Amino acid sequence: MVDDKLRTPGAVRDAERWTAHNYHPLPVVISSAEGAWLTDVDGRRYLDCLAGYSALNFGHRHPQLIAAAHTQLDRLTLTSRAFIHDQFADFCRELAELCGKDLVLPMNTGAEAVETGIKVARKWGYQVKGVAAGQANIVVAEGNFHGRTTTIVSFSTDEDARADFGPYTPGFTVVPYGDLDALTAAIDENTVAVLLEPIQGEQGVVVPPEGYLPGVRQVCTERDVLFIADEIQSGLGRTGATFACDHEGVVPDMYLLGKALGGGIVPVSAVAANADVLGVLKPGQHGSTFGGNPLACAVAIEVVRLLATGEFQRRSAELGERLRAGLEGLVGKGLVGVRVRGLWAGLDIDPALMSGREACERLAERGVLAKDTHGSTIRLAPPLVITEEEIDLAVTQLAEVLAG
């Protein structure tokens, strides 16, 4: 019997009635959250094992971030880049220092950071590398996910993301992910950049073979090509290091950052690179009304300061080992594959058992929220403030779901 006092069914219906169906959310309606926990409109509590696709690395409503937002709301929220505001330089300097780069270009969403990276690489190609006009090419990987703009979906290999959105932007060559020979062979005199996720998140937390990223770094250096690392989902503590590239000691020419940079409060993205790269942009050639706004910068400064302590990277590395141990114990018991880096896991469920969607629905009924990616693969990315007991809870509930 349906309990007619529950608010969830009506709220789900209303949401479906009034929105384009470009998402297929789980039927939960959240009204408040704190740390790693969410509460729905009917008072049910859920352990958040998605963390806003890593936008909530520091948990919901981290006190230091909320305090910074409140303070800034009472002072100044928007100027546009026509003027400079008093949070701007601190944000850019502190983020540049965290990245070990000269300069930062702030934007809002991840896709905008990717678009910025593409534009900068092309201009760099024409003005610095000397590529012939209109010939610049960027090498990307199969299975990539870099966002949803028309240019970005032009080089997606996911038909859902790409089909019927043409005509497509030219200038991209797609190679298999993790295959250094194929990537090397795709580079020619017109190649300005290689754009990669150091770990492919949407594809199911796919970690490339050891040595791949250093190999990409080397070939980019040798062939005068920019290595652009899209760390929008993998970066800022998620994998147990500040950047996923750090695990192999790789420093790209450009970091693309987003998601967690806004502390789960405001959209903040950025490109970080050295002056010989980002310096190619001149006034009027790129920008955004909201990019680098005072509220965004005030929150993001605190995000950078949280990361500068190293505490979240440590938590992610240590707790990630507990998550790994728990999940590996389920291989053969409903899971057919597990990939873990820090507090980030891709789980392949035996397709004979259930789809990823079904698994997530059943987990939700048991008070754990996660998200399927493709087919029978789900991804776990809890906030980095999650505790050992909460990790154990998530693993136990998953085990119960898999046991049917």
Ligand X SMILES: Cc1ncc(COP(=O)(O)O)c(C=O)c1O
Give 148 or 305: the residue with its C-beta nearer to ligand X: 148
How far apart CA 45 and CA 61 sit, in angstroms, is 16
Task: Please tell me which residue in 101, 123, 129, 259 is annotated as part of the active site.
Answer: 259
Task: Please tell me which residue in 40, 48, 230, 253 is annotated as part of the active site.
Answer: 230
Residue of minimal Cβ distance to ligand X = 110
For tokens 């929150």, the residue is 299
Cα dihedral 315/387/360/57 (nearest 10) = -40
For residue 60, give the DSSP letter. B
CB of 259 to ligand X, least distance (A): 6
DSSP 7-52: SHHHHHHHHHHHS-SS----S--EEEEEBTEEEETTS-EEEESSHH
Give 270 or 335: the residue with its C-beta nearer to ligand X: 270
Q: Active-site residue 230, yes or no?
A: yes
CB of 234 to ligand X, least distance (A): 7
Q: Active-site residue 58, yes or no?
A: no
Give 131 or 266: the residue with its C-beta nearer to ligand X: 266
How far apart CA 370 and CA 393 sit, in angstroms, is 13
Task: Please tell me which residue in 58, 145, 172, 227 is annotated as part of the active site.
Answer: 145
CB of 55 to ligand X, least distance (A): 8
How many angstroms separate the Cα of 12 from the Cα of each of 18, 20, 43, 138, 355?
10, 13, 15, 42, 22
Which residues contribute to the site for ligand X (CB under 6 A)? 53, 109-111, 114, 145-147, 197, 201-202, 230, 232-233, 258
CB of 162 to ligand X, least distance (A): 15
Give 147 or 334: the residue with its C-beta nearer to ligand X: 147
CB of 177 to ligand X, least distance (A): 13
For residue 47, give every residue at least 6 positions away whose Cβ sits within 8 Å of its Cβ, in sequence order, or none: 36, 37, 38, 367, 368, 369, 382, 386, 390, 393, 394
Active site residues: 145, 230, 259
